Amino acid sequence: MCGIVGYVGKQSAVPILIESLKRLEYRGYDSAGITVLNELLETYKTVGKIADLEMVLPEEIIANVGIGHTRWATHGKPETRNAHPHVSSGVSVVHNGIIENYLKLKENLIELGYVFESDTDTEVIAHLLNYKMHNGAKKTDLLTAIRETTRELEGSYAIAALCSDEPGSLVFARKDSPLVIGIGENEYYAASDVTAFLKHTKNVIYVDDYEIGAVRPDCIEIFDPQGNLLSKDTHIVEWDLEAAEKAGYEHFMLKEIHEQPTSIQKTFAGKLLELEGTVKMDELYLTPEQIKQLRRATIIACGTSWNAGILGKYLFEKLTGIHTDIETASEFRYGNPVLCGEELTIAITQSGETADTLAAVRSSKSYGCRAIAITNVVGSTITRESDSVVYTRAGPEIGVAATKTFTTQLITLYMLAIYLGRGRGVLTAEDSKNLIVNIKRLPGQIQKILNRKKKIKECAEQFADKRDYFFIGRYLNFPIALEGALKLKEISYIHAEGYAAGELKHGPLALITEDTPVVAIATKGHTYDKILSNIKEVKARNATVIAVANDDDTEIEKYADVVLRIPSSHEMTSPVLSSVVLQLLAYYTALAKDCSIDKPRNLAKSVTVE
């Protein structure tokens, strides 16, 4: 959620910090601030946008070391006094995460004479560091202080800190919250996300849980909890800054919708073996015997990834014969799950840093389950927590509303289902070939939808003044209805609900009026006649029906008021196409309402705290 940046080197720190914070705006925030260190600490912070922060900065600040932060309020309201960095007599701290025992720590520090200026949990870190450095039997350095401080912290944290006694140094620590170090020439960067410093370097070191370290212009040191110096691998980021820019589009979301033909192509490139009727999955560490013995799988995810997981459940049960459960990651650990070591856990997280999903994976692995991660971010925490990793190849996604990461997750689930289905002898080579051919057609079919998006835009503008929307679908289209409703509500602020269409008569029909548009995903398949019946139900209540239907459907216009078309396709792959239509419907609705599309209110791109 929050964004951390830091810089140590020879350049002027302020422009780098401000630029880096702007590149992390997509994570969501309500206040921002920086601390720079020359001979003394200078801290500037404010509620609002980074542009507001720039207004309170002096014209010239001379410093080569600094830290910065964008805050999304958890403890304490969005007020300047609660904005980061937090300072304690020569120590300045930025923090992402939640310190669960902060009240106890705060009480102890107040007894020691420390005065708190904010309502945040983070301020206890600043005071603890100060206490560790100056009030022990002998004074310690900042690195020692942060090691001792983190031993007292319960919860999650990524921390960057400065001390006026150590003008050329920045220290850091991490547990359950992302932190990455960028390596330049005699300079180092720290951030929650490589996007922050990608303009300056592609060489990165990923900091792991419980590690602490320090960077100075000429060196980096990283230690384990016992104080042992570690030798960490340097990774090279594959994508460049241009991939994270708008490239002429009005919004990142629209750009990322249009990137889906390419991102899907990259995700399945080299994996779909049409002639053999199978999928290449060398990254899965499962033996043929283990695949045949699988009896149950649990898909764990949050938000959009959870919607993808529901489709994955249907795919797995149909194509592999494996009983599959779908669990909301935030609830998984609290429900006393019944698991055994012969089961498979599939964790879906676009960032690889979703706190609830990570915690759920750790819980499942404690039962001995094998874990497969589906993620878009190389080097993210989930890749180190799982037995196998399957990467989506969506590239950087800046818009808060997931688009291309969702469809590439779907493609990955199709491929995984085919691979396991063939390995278990449940899916025939002929059926597999047919499905593979239709997956390969998806990029071109999506491009056709994008080429005729004008009709979707007109539809969005027609109903942009409505207060409520319903989305309905059956079987494979049910999770797409959920995702369509989620997209609309998160960026247009219109109340929207997604339902399994058969559930309408169990209560939701009471809310249907002539002012309630109902989006029905009515693509061809074995539930087509059923969805037509559901359309008739809502039409009988005077609702306006917007149908998503195949190009070759000549009947649908008898039932629906507006028809948004997708290319005719295989029943199994049509949900991917329908999701693109609903992404565009949400985008153009939000555009008509002049909403903040890439940074919707109250939301963050990566939910890195529970």
121 phi and psi angles, rounded to 5 deg:
-75, -25
Contact 194, 184 (CB under 8 A): no
Contact 171, 161 (CB under 8 A): yes
Q: Sign of the CA dihedral 304, 306, 312, 314?
A: negative
What does the block give as tokens for 472?
């309905």
Quick one: the chain helix, strand, coil %, rounded to 5? 40, 20, 40
Distance CA 467, CA 515 (A): 8
Distance CA 578, CA 549 (A): 8
Give the Å distances, CA to CA, from 165 to 37, 134, 405, 494: 10, 11, 45, 52
Give the Å distances, CA to CA, from 31 to 93, 175, 191, 503, 583: 15, 23, 17, 42, 29
385-418 core/surface letters (b: 16 or more CB in 10 A; e: else):
bbbbbbbbbbbbbbbbbbbbbbbbbbbbbbbbbb
Return left, alpha or beta for 97; rule: phi > 0 is left, psi -120 to 50 is alpha, else beta. left
Annotated active-site residue in 255, 271, 487, 605: 605
Distance CA 14, CA 54 (A): 10
Give the Å distances, CA to CA, from 457 to 77, 448, 610: 37, 15, 37
96 phi and psi angles, rounded to 5 deg:
-120, 130
Annotated active-site residue in 2, 163, 302, 459: 2
Q: Three-state DSSP class for 343?
A: coil
Among candidate residues 513, 521, 515, 516, the one with its CA nearest the CA of residue 556: 521
The reply to whether 605 belongs to the active site is: yes
Contact 606, 1 (CB under 8 A): yes
Q: Which helix (H) or strand (E) holds 19?
A: helix 13-23
Among candidate residues 149, 209, 206, 217, the one with its CA nearest the CA of residue 181: 206
What does the block give as tokens for 134?
């100056």
Distance CA 225, CA 148 (A): 10
The reply to whether 219 belongs to the active site is: no
Largest CA distance in the chain: 84
Q: Which residues contact 499 (CB under 8 A, 6 or more apart)?
A: 470, 471, 472, 478, 481, 508
Distance CA 107, CA 121 (A): 12
Catalytic residues: 2, 605
